[in-house]
Amino acid sequence: MAKEFSTITAISLLLLLAQTTEAQSGVFDVTKYGAKAGNTDISQAILSAWKEACASTSASKIVVPAGTYLMNEMTLQGPCKGPLELQIQGTLKAPDDPSQFKQAGWLTVERVDQFTLSGTGTLDGQGPTAWTQNHCDKNPECKQFAMNMRFNSVTNSVVRNITSLDSKNFHVNLLGCKNMTFDHFTITAPENSVNTDGIHIGRSSGINIIDSNIKTGDDCVSVGHGSQQITVERVTCGPGHGISVGSLGRYKNEQPVSGVTVKNCTLINTSNGVRVKTWPASPAAGTAADMHFEDIIMNNVGNPVVIDQEYCPYNQCTSKEPSLVKISNVSFKNIRGTSSTRVAVKLVCSKGNPCENVEIGDIDLSYSGAGGPATSQCANIKPTFSGKQNPPTCVNSAQSS
């Protein structure tokens, strides 16, 4: 009996030592904190692992193994004492009922430096129920549902290989972030999913979205006010509403947008292409400058090239008053493919604050629908041209005055 007790004690000590060694090596498996695949919530297990990992002065990794798990809304807060990675290998499912959420985000990460979200796993927002309850097209004061991921004041960080599926609202929202990269990131939602912007960037700088695939029901990437040095490169977008700067100029005290580069991207069956959009009747003046769209392939895209300073969805504004947002130093170069609408190039600037220094170069967009070949629409702009112009852009000087 004593020998048996001794053996059990030895095994227990070995197991404890193994767990301690694993934690000391910087790997925190959430199953060691009570997480189980199936119909149980693993939020507390992740939070417990996060608390220990965040306190470590060396690099740490929290692992969610393969399997399907339920996860309620959760906030992972810093600052942490060392670099930290959350590696998701399985599928996390959000509550189906949108009324269960008290916050605007399902997974929120805030005030963390040197954070990595990695793995081949999926964050499934289970959005269809929320989409049927979204009435923002009729009510500008509508309730906003939870986003799959929110990053607040996160710096020097990476999101890699993860999939965001069927978010109830935006898939990703960045606020006050700096030096953050999305690499081989996948977003998937159907075309009819309401208000499911892929990645929305607000008041952030040094944001890179590269080698990623975004299929959703709203803008694949939207750049909000206060964003600087944004790069979107080798991204495939569609379905969705395109890649957008804006909308800008709707609220007071908006900060400038500058340094946006969209390059080597492909848009497929989107309702818009690459565009800059501002609201008329701006409450205050703003600026959007140094924005460059280059080497873009359009495949059956509505309105492939757009500057729209009369953006007023659902008639929620006074469209007769001009936008006060100043747009300058913009280029659209080497944009080619097919348009699903006749107006392939739309450059409608503010009559109260016309666009300046806009360059149009090597545009080759064809339209085969009713009404004749592709055409352009211009107002309050005098662009410069280089290379091929198909369709001819702003050929009517009265339009571009």
Overall pTM surpassing 0.85 (yes/no):
yes
pLDDT digit string (tens) for 24-50? 469 999 999 999 999 999 999 999 999
Pairwise pLDDT comparison (321 vs 201), residue with the higher score: 201
- pLDDT number for residue 20: 40
Domains within the chain, CATH numbers bracketed? 78-134+144-390 (2.160.20.10)
Six-digit token pair at 69?
């798990």
Q: Distance between CA atoms of 344 and 221, rounded to whole angstroms?
A: 20
Average pLDDT over residues 340-360: 97
DSSP 193-225: -TT--SEEEES-EEEEEEEEEEE-SS-SEEE-T
Classified as helix, coil or strand, 13 is helix
Percent of the chain with pLDDT over 90: 84
Quick check: bond before 247 cis, omega within 30? yes
DSSP 144-191: PPPEEEEEES-EEEEEES-EEES-SS-SEEEES-EEEEEES-EEE--T
Judging by DSSP bridges, how do beta strands 115-118 and 27-29 pair with one another? Answer: unpaired
- pLDDT number for residue 140: 65
Q: Distance between CA atoms of 84 and 116, rounded to whole angstroms?
A: 6
Residue 18 reports pLDDT greater than 90:
no
The residues, any chain, with a CB within 8 Å of residue 175's CB and separated by 6 or more, are 150, 151, 152, 153, 202, 203, 204
Residues tagged active-site: 218, 241
Question: How far does the chain reach from its first CA to its final CA, in angstroms?
Answer: 98
Average pLDDT over residues 324-343: 98
Burial zone of 6 (CB within 10 Å; 0-12 exposed, 13-18 middle, 19+ buried): exposed
Q: Which residue has the tokens 């910087």?
A: 26
Instruction: Average the pLDDT over each of 101-105, 254-258, 316-320 and give the range with the smallest value.
Output: 316-320
Instruction: Average the pLDDT over each of 132-141, 150-159, 255-264, 383-392 and give the range with the smallest value.
Output: 132-141
Residue 399 reports pLDDT greater than 70:
no
Q: Distance between CA atoms of 158 and 114, rounded to whole angstroms?
A: 8
Six-digit token pair at 281?
């009747």
Average pLDDT over residues 370-378: 94
Max CA distance (Å), the chain = 101
Average pLDDT over residues 204-224: 98
Q: Distance between CA atoms of 271 and 60, rounded to whole angstroms?
A: 43
- pLDDT number for residue 8: 40
Residue 16 reports pLDDT greater than 90:
no
- pLDDT number for residue 400: 43
- pLDDT number for residue 143: 76
- pLDDT number for residue 315: 74
Residue 17 reports pLDDT greater than 50:
no
- pLDDT number for residue 314: 74
Six-digit token pair at 100?
């269960």
Band (107; pLDDT cuts 50, 70, 90)? very high
Residue 2 reports pLDDT greater than 60:
no
pLDDT digit string (tens) for 62-77? 999 999 999 999 999 9
Say if residues 91 and 134 touch (Cβ distance below 8 Å).
no
Residue 11 reports pLDDT greater than 80:
no
Average pLDDT over residues 245-255: 94
CA-based nearest residue to 206, from 230, 224, 184: 230
Using left for φ > 0, alpha for ψ between -120 and 50, and beta otherwise, residue 295 falls in: left
Q: Which residue has the tokens 């934690």?
A: 23
Average pLDDT over residues 80-100: 97
Say if residues 79 and 48 touch (Cβ distance below 8 Å).
no
Classified as helix, coil or strand, 343 is strand
pLDDT digit string (tens) for 118-172? 999 999 999 999 999 987 766 766 778 999 999 999 999 999 999 999 999 999 9
Q: Distance between CA atoms of 360 and 354, rounded to whole angstroms?
A: 16
The chain-wide mean pLDDT, for the chain, equals 91
- pLDDT number for residue 398: 38
